[in-house]
Chains A and B, each alone.
Chain A
Amino acid sequence: MPITARTMRTRRTAGTVVLAGVVALALSACGVTSATNTEATDNGPIDSLQVMIPNAPGSGYDVTGRAAVKVMDDLGLATGTEVTNLAGAGGTVGLARTLTETGNANFLLMMGLGVVGAAYTNEGDAKVADATPIAGLIEEAGAIFVAADSPYRTMDDLVTAWKADTANFAVGGGSSPGGPDHLLPMQLADAVGIDPTTVNYVAYDGGGELLPAILGGKLAFGASGYGEFLEQVKSGDLRVLAVTSEERVPVIDAPTLTEENIDLVFTNWRGLLAAPGLTDAEIARLVDAVTAMHGSPEWKQVLEDNSWTDAFITGDDFSTFLSEQDARVADVLKTLGLV
């Protein structure tokens, strides 16, 4: 089994110490030999890199985080990488845990817009600003989805009906209050002159629960990332009335909100934070590793496979971006009385 053996060496991606043990045991039984990959960066590979996913396996953060880890592993930018899922409170639990890792230069947290919002709605002490910003990786515009047989053909139809009977107009999203799918319809309502506090938002537990509700016509519309239901859009089961990016996205034939005369641009994004209390050199080392990962053709392939938009920023730019996002989210949630 040469192939399996090779896999073992490059990826000891284990969620728990126990599991690492079991997997290692199981695989050493398969005759695994150990070898070292030596394609190092200037600083050498980051040894025993821990990446925390503040969400369940299979979630957006998980897919992004594991993809990033795989590329870093393959490139030899990090060795002995360990991925841990620590779900809870919309990512706040993972964030809080990150903040306890003060001074740990081999620790990264996968996070995004949802974690920023959840940090507010959960009223915890953990704030995104307390962690060390490393890099923004990707962004994903939102989209307004309706079922194929929905009466709404354009955003105009939809907004007219929404304004006429806001209370009966059920809007669904795959996140709890404070998450991206919740923030999107709220900001959209605000932009078209509907009081966001009157919006009838139905929270679903992720895209998997949301999709059948849209397909079955239970909701007037669903808000989610545009890549979430790409296959259903291609097959014609769902229609996209608008995407929320600044410019049209290549894979979906739908106008932007701005084209539909709605003054709103909304993008969800994901990035990496590190623990607090790192030296400049330690931060630079992590940023360099992530930058090298971003520059690789492997990462480009990952972006393409998942229909993610590259939105790579590091350093001060990312810090500024984070505080802007923070302020904007706080603003929306205050309007809604959720903070």
Chain B
Amino acid sequence: MENLTLLIEGFSNALTPQNLLFALIGVLLGTAVGVLPGIGPAMTVALLLPLTYALDVTGSLIMFAGIYYGGMYGGSTTSILLNTPGESSSVVTALEGNKMAKAGRGAQALATAAIGSFVAGTLATGALVLVAPFIVAIAIGLGAPSYFALMVFAFVAVSAVLGSSRIRGLASLFIGLTIGLVGQDLTTGQPRLMFGQPLLSGGIDVVVIAVALFAVGEALWIAAHLRHGVPPTIPVGVPWMGKEDWKRSWKPWLRGTVIGFPFGAIPAGGAEIPTFLSYVTEKRLSKHPEQFGHGAIEGVAGPEAANNASAAGTLVPLLTLGLPTTATAAVMIAAFNQYNIHPGPLLFQTEPVLVWTLIASLFIGNTLLLALNLPLAPLWAKLLRIPRPYLYAGILFFATLGAYAAGMQTFNIGILLVLGALGYMARRFGFPVLPIIVGAILGPEMERQLRRALQISAGDPAALLSEPVAVVAYTVIVLFLVVPPVIKAVRRRFGRGGPTGGLQAGGDSDGYSEDTESTVEFDAFGTQTSDGSARVIRVVRPQTERRGK
């Protein structure tokens, strides 16, 4: 109750016409900069921070909240429309979002992302108010063994996105793990797969990997097939979310929030893993799993909610411990220092007015973001009416710009092209792309946590089970691996098809259902191009073989 009173006080501080204007400017600037690929929220905030220097503390916090959420949201727009994720947390959004956009449902994808971000941001900010101290107590108890267990969990979940050909999926995963190995080993300083190139020592930026595989790979693929005729311009469908879209979105929004918030709140959580886990969850729970890979709205709604919930989650350790868990949070601490305010365990006591004003500003920023972006969604979606050759030229331009901006290095553009060629080959030979990215994200983190756990225990593997969270995670993994086959066996006995069997034509007006009926297509992000503008290499395998697995 006391918290609520303080929060209302925070709102009364934040809700002045002048402050609302600052919030609006913040949201606009944040979105504008966040839209550029390769420039994540941390960079956005750092760049725009000087703009807030001249304001008073409240005004600057409010503008800051706007910039923060605006930057988070901006990244998903390019992800959906151009297949060029602006930051690692919106990589997953590109998977279904871009497919939706190409099927003429860009406006719906943007709308579900905007509303999902709003719902998740609001709920998670609310959670921040209510449970911050409680969550922090748990978060501190998590050590390397727990993190490792969570990574193993995420890794097991990868199996859901390997596609219909396990061997191709695994090959993709290992390519990703190999890319993740590049760089200097954090523990020993040993260079790995660097080929004497110091620019590789920090590893390859996940955004560069994703943009290369998604955008460049696809542009090359389209270019390679232009001789079959110029592909038709992407249709632009109805501008608003239909009843069905709402029905299919609201649960993923809530689930995404539940997945994203705790990951944001734990020190080594981040936004990549929860967005990915949310995607996998939605795919498993969806009534239309066959649409995944062709623009399932759940696959946008869930990850976008998870992304924003995680962003709000990072404020938990920041405000209660003074602990920056992301680069963005570190920049925020620098911003606080500007006003001689030092986030730490005592911040809620020493600066209650300020903290609650900030929290109120987050609510305001979030609302403005929705008010701004929802009407814009149909306008943005019209961007795709540009004829394909020009559209892809634009995408390549953005991709290159993003890769360069990610490290200010011409070298990155070389990496982009090499990985783009890899992305093309993956499409050409039917290797799914998502496992490559998941491998590159999860691999290094998992290795680091495993080594840290073993290093602290001086090599005793029993330490991996020394924390309760780790034990719970491993138990869930075992259930995850054991229960589905049992259910399948039971179902088979009663004569029903397994969950992956029997592809059905999608209920959505995506307009490519004949393709999926005639062949077993790669489940996720393999060869299939959703609009049928290019011929697809398919490996036809009898359905029975799949069921045998």
Contacts and interface: CB of A to CB of B under 8 A. Distances in A.
Given A23-B48, A235-B345, 9 more contacts: A4-B54, A14-B47, A19-B33, A22-B32, A57-B330, A58-B46, A59-B330, A89-B199, A231-B347
Nearest to A13: B50
B456 A202 contact: yes
Contact of B29 (A26, A88, A126): A26
Contacts of A206: 330
Interface in A139-170: 167-168, 170
A164 B48 CA distance: 51
A104 interface: no
A16 interface: yes
A3 B267 contact: no
B25 to A, nearest CB: 7
Interface in B431-472: 452, 455-458
A57 B39 CA distance: 11
A86 B408 contact: yes
B305 interface: no
B202 interface: yes
Contacts of B404: 16
Interface residues of B, number: 75
A292 interface: no
Contacts of B497: none
Which residue, A58, A62, A126, has most C-beta atoms of chain B within 10 A? Answer: A58
A212 B323 contact: yes
B511 interface: no
6 contacts: A22-B32, A66-B46, A86-B409, A122-B201, A123-B191, A231-B344
A216 B142 CA distance: 7
A208 B50 contact: no
Interface in B245-268: 267-268
A308 to B, nearest CB: 11
B50 A57 contact: no
B405 A7 contact: no
B54 to A, nearest CB: 4
Contact of B50 (A70, A93, A121): A70
A15 B46 contact: yes
Given A18-B401, A232-B321, A209 B268 contact: yes
Contacts of B325: 208-209
A202 B340 contact: no
Contacts of A66: 46, 49-50, 334
A264 B331 CA distance: 33
Given A15-B43, A16-B405, A70-B53, A205 B346 contact: no
Interface in B300-327: 317, 321-327
B81 interface: no
A87 B337 contact: no
Contacts of B409: 86, 93
B458 A88 contact: no
Interface in A1-40: 1, 3-4, 6-8, 11, 13-16, 18-19, 22-23, 26-27, 30
B46 A338 contact: no
Interface residues of A, number: 72
A301 to B, nearest CB: 9
Given A122-B201, A218-B144, A170 B455 contact: yes
A71 B346 CA distance: 29
Given A23-B29, A216-B143, A232-B321, A63 B337 contact: yes
B407 interface: yes
Nearest to A236: B345
Given A208-B324, A216-B142, A338-B189, A11 B50 contact: yes
Contacts of B333: 58
B115 interface: no
B39 A16 contact: yes
Interface string B220-248: 00000000000000000000000000000
Given A16-B408, A23-B48, A202-B452, A208 B329 contact: yes
A58 B33 contact: no
A218 B33 CA distance: 39
A104 B55 CA distance: 35
A263 to B, nearest CB: 27
Nearest to A117: B189
A245 B401 CA distance: 45
A200 B457 CA distance: 10
B373 interface: no
B328 interface: yes
Given A23-B33, A305-B337, A305-B338, A237 B345 contact: yes
Contacts of B405: 15-16, 18-19
A121 to B, nearest CB: 5
Interface in B162-211: 184, 186-189, 191, 198-199, 201-202
A62 B323 contact: no
Contacts of A249: none
Contacts of A213: 143-144
A138 interface: no
A231 B43 contact: no
A232 B322 contact: yes
Contacts of A231: 322, 342-347
A176 B451 CA distance: 14
Contacts of A62: 46, 331, 334
A214 to B, nearest CB: 10
B142 to A, nearest CB: 7
A63 B332 CA distance: 11
A56 B55 CA distance: 25
Interface string B17-34: 000010001001100110
B139 interface: yes
A4 B404 CA distance: 29
A337 to B, nearest CB: 10
A212 B140 contact: yes
Interface in A213-244: 213, 215-216, 218-219, 229-232, 234-235, 237
Given A88-B407, A218-B144, A232 B345 contact: yes
Contacts of B323: 208, 211-212
A92 B343 contact: no
B32 A208 contact: no
B139 A212 contact: yes
Nearest to B46: A57
B42 interface: yes
Interface in B107-153: 139-144
Contact of B42 (A57, A124, A200, A229): A57
Nearest to A29: B28
Contacts of A26: 28-29, 32
B396 interface: no
Contacts of A230: 342, 344
Nearest to B40: A57
A211 B321 contact: yes
Contacts of B140: 212, 215-216
A59 B334 CA distance: 9
A123 B189 CA distance: 10
B36 interface: yes
Which of the listed residues A205, A219, A231 has the most CB atoms from chain B within 10 Å of its own CB? Answer: A231
Contacts of B187: 177, 202-203
A278 interface: no
Contacts of B201: 88-90, 92-93, 122
Contacts of B456: 170, 200, 202, 218-219
A96 interface: yes
Contact of A58 (B189, B330, B455): B330
Contacts of B345: 231-232, 235, 237
Contacts of B267: 208-209, 211-212
A19 B54 contact: no
A19 B344 contact: no
